[in-house]
Amino acid sequence: MGRFRLLCYVIFSSSLLMSTVSSRGAIYQPPTVERLTDHFPRIPITQGMSTFFGTSNIHLKNNGSSADIVLDKTSGSGLVSKNRYYHGFFSAAIKLPMGVTSGVVLAFYMSNADEFPHNHDEIDFELLGHEKRRQWILQTNMYGNGSVRTGREEKVYLWFDPTQQFHQYTILWNNHHIVFLVDNIPVREVIHNQAISSVYPSKPMSLYATIWDASEWATHGGKYPVNYNYGPFVAALGELEIEGCMIQKTSSPTAVVCAKNATLSSLDPVEGEDYATLSKQQMVGLNWVRGKHMFYSYCKDITRYKVLPIECNAP
């Protein structure tokens, strides 16, 4: 009887641990991977970014090394990089708002829509306060040359509670591939091959971090809109890393002329062999995320696409 009670206690304790570790109610220990975020220096928010919109809802902290961006009844808010980049490594540690957050979206992304409104590129992390459940969904997306109508979204459940502490969200973009990483674990890789070359981001972009009301878009056409009784919604940002081919101003908006960065040995810090392919460890991490946590991919959405985009059938 004593052994039975001990077994019951172990099972109960394990179940309790599972429910506290993951918002999905299960424990998922991520694999060990290289820490790419250790390769580049962290900079203050005030050094790398400036106000994009919602000035009164941006609160700088720790002498400008971090910031809170806020969504309330009056406005959302956002930051934009002071420079534009062609390829690079872009990362920030983010802690998301707690509570009922349906319709709230935190976006950490790259875009050139301001300069190319009808032909722009984008690489997106979008964290969605999803429906009525008290959990966030991670969506990634990318497109080039204004192909927003052909969305390339993928969605995963996070293996942690993103409201309890900071987690790192990273974009690696070069001529070989685009890699989305969370806490240095790849969650998606877009390989630059012939099948996707026409929509692969190819023009210099700025980095953005925004929080906004996406009720009509993110919750089945407004089925679960933002409930401001639970606001304001505050996202915290820090540990900013921005390293890339920084674009000099030229007479041509499409010209790529990199400015010399004194902290780098190369004008493009992510074009070398170390960043051209995923390592074995990183592939294990990628397969772990996609096998255990991904629940939507545009390449499997035959309702949305009668004919799947060509890259979905590429080897």
Tens of pLDDT, residue by residue over 81-112, are 999 999 999 999 999 999 889 999 999 999 99
pLDDT score for 223 = 77
Percentage of the chain exceeding pLDDT 90: 68
User: Quick check: 246 pLDDT over 90?
Assistant: no
Instruction: Please name the residue that has the structure tokens 């101003």.
Output: 249
> What 3-state class would DSSP assign to 299?
helix
Q: How far apart are the first and last CA of the chain?
A: 57
Question: How distant, in Å, are the alpha carbons of 13, 29, 231 from that of 10?
Answer: 5, 19, 39
pLDDT of residue 135: 82
The residue with greater pLDDT, 16 or 271, is: 271
Residue 131 catalytic?
no
Question: How many residues are given for the chain?
Answer: 315
Q: Is the pLDDT of residue 80 over 50?
A: yes
DSSP structural state of residue 312: G
Check whether 16 has a pLDDT greater than 70: no
Instruction: Output the six-digit token pair for 103.
Output: 């319709």
> Which of 126, 154, 241, 311 is the catalytic position?
126
Average pLDDT over residues 113-118: 91
Who contacts 104 (Cβ-Cβ below 8 Å, separation ≥6)? Answer: 71, 97, 128, 129, 211, 212, 213, 214, 226, 233
- Please confirm, yes or no, whether 122 is among the known catalytic residues: yes
| Arithmetic mean of pLDDT, 243-269 | 63
Three-class SS of residue 179? strand
pLDDT grade for 57, boundaries at 50, 70 and 90:
very high
Give the Cα separation of 124 and 51 in Å (integer).
Answer: 19
Reference 107, options 81, 140, 135; nearest CA is 140
Question: Between these two residues, 26 and 169, which has the higher pLDDT value?
Answer: 169
Catalytic residue among 115, 122, 239, 241: 122
Question: For the domain 25-303, what is the CATH code?
Answer: 2.60.120.200
Sign, CA torsion 23/29/33/36: positive
